[in-house]
Amino acid sequence: MFSKILIANRGEIALRIMQAAKELGIKTVAVFSESDKDSLHASLADEKICIGPAKASESYLNIPNIISAALITKTDAIHPGYGFLAENPRFPEVCQQEGLAFVGPPASVMRIMGDKNRARQEMKKAKLPILPGSDGIIKDFSSAEKTAKKIGFPIILKAAAGGGGKGMRIVRSLPSLENQFNIAQNESNSAFGNPDLYIEKYFENARHIEIQVARDSKGHVIGFAERECSVQRKHQKILEETPSTYIDSKLRKKMIKAAESAADFIDYQSLGTFEFLVDRKKNFYFMEANTRVQVEHPITEMVYGIDLIKEQIQISAGQDLKISQGIEFRGHSIECRINAEDPDSFAPSPGKIEFLVFPGGEGIRIDSAAYQGWTIPPFYDSLIAKVSSHAPTRQQAIKKAITALEMTTLVGVKTNIPLQLNVLSNSDFLKGTYDTQFLEDLIAKKTSS
């Protein structure tokens, strides 16, 4: 087992990794930017080291500075968390060159699955159903037009090197294709330094379902019950729950088996998530795989009573998967992402938190690095906290989530808590009949009223 881990991240995920490491008896090193000098992750680690200015490209994305920090502190391993360098295959390669373990899958696997178009081709070989779409990268409008006509509108343009909704555009008709193609290319190039796009068929009123997997170096693999991620705005997840109201036990087993088989096919090692689109006929199609821990991992932990981060660390240390096949989930869990943003315009709302109290109680989990008196910097993701509930039934989990959000007291910055409460009380959400268009429609109705 490792004796010391450097956490190449910030915020709530840095604290989450720190907690798991400490419980495993591993010392932690926090890296922080100049704007994060007063952050909780820096103050609670066993050691801390500044890696650069506030700008992410000069700190949390600065591989030489992070590696130097690891070598100076005599670290055994580096955990990337999510975001920043978590899915950059160059990072684990450099770690290996410097004799540092990387808490995540091999660089070769990250390279395959990080290229969304290549991932499609590999999953096709693995016999996973994939969405109808382009056979390769679409370099120009002429090729995009030809492919779109072949598969039929609506379509979705996707950045080959991307994620998180960047470089994605839904196109419903030919006249708007050229403009949307140019916008998606520019956004992809700006976000990822790569303008490459591919095209997929876009299914209306579909569900976004993901399957968490864990696999060790000896090939032991386990897939977990699905997470429903259909409450999203501009392809950014806002609220997740498990299990899904849309997936029955037969389909669940089928999707888990598909994800496990895919992990075996690419010799995956670590935590990973396979994301699927499920249509109105309950056919499922592979969309992408995330080669890292997911933001929404807490709800899987709550229904299974496990610690996924510990498993991830232990797998990277060469240990066997500790979770047994056949483990069953219990109850229902919901995660609400609380962002520092205007609930109406969605504009970021950085600033000083004047007063802050989170709720507690049975079945409530708070993942956060925020504290009273802390100034939320404008340079990074706006996530303040993840408020998760767990209860025997979905109805009880919803009530717990609503109560927790209503009892969250945060003064000084605007948050999206009003939006979350609006979602949780919506009749379609309560009935479980929502889809990926649900939140956009809810926002549109509110704006027009």
Catalytic residues: 292
Of 16, 19, 23, 18, the residue nearest 6 (C-alpha): 18
Phi, psi of 121 (to 5 degrees): -65, -40
How far apart, in whole angstroms, are the C-alpha atoms of residue 55 and residue 67? 18
For residue 373, give every residue at least 6 positions away whose Cβ sits within 8 Å of its Cβ, in sequence order, or none.
352, 353, 354
Phi, psi of 184 (to 5 degrees): -65, -40
- Which tokens go with 354? 């004047």
Of 34, 13, 40, 48, the residue nearest 374 (C-alpha): 40
Q: What is the DSSP letter of 56?
A: G
HSE-up of residue 410 (Cα within 13 Å, Cβ side): 29
The CA-to-CA distance between both ends of the chain, in Å, stands at: 58
Amino acid (1-letter code) at residue 190: S
Residue pair 322/311 in contact by the 8 Å Cβ criterion? yes
DSSP assignment of 162-202: --TTTT-EEE-SGGGHHHHHHHHHHHHHHHHS---EEEEEP
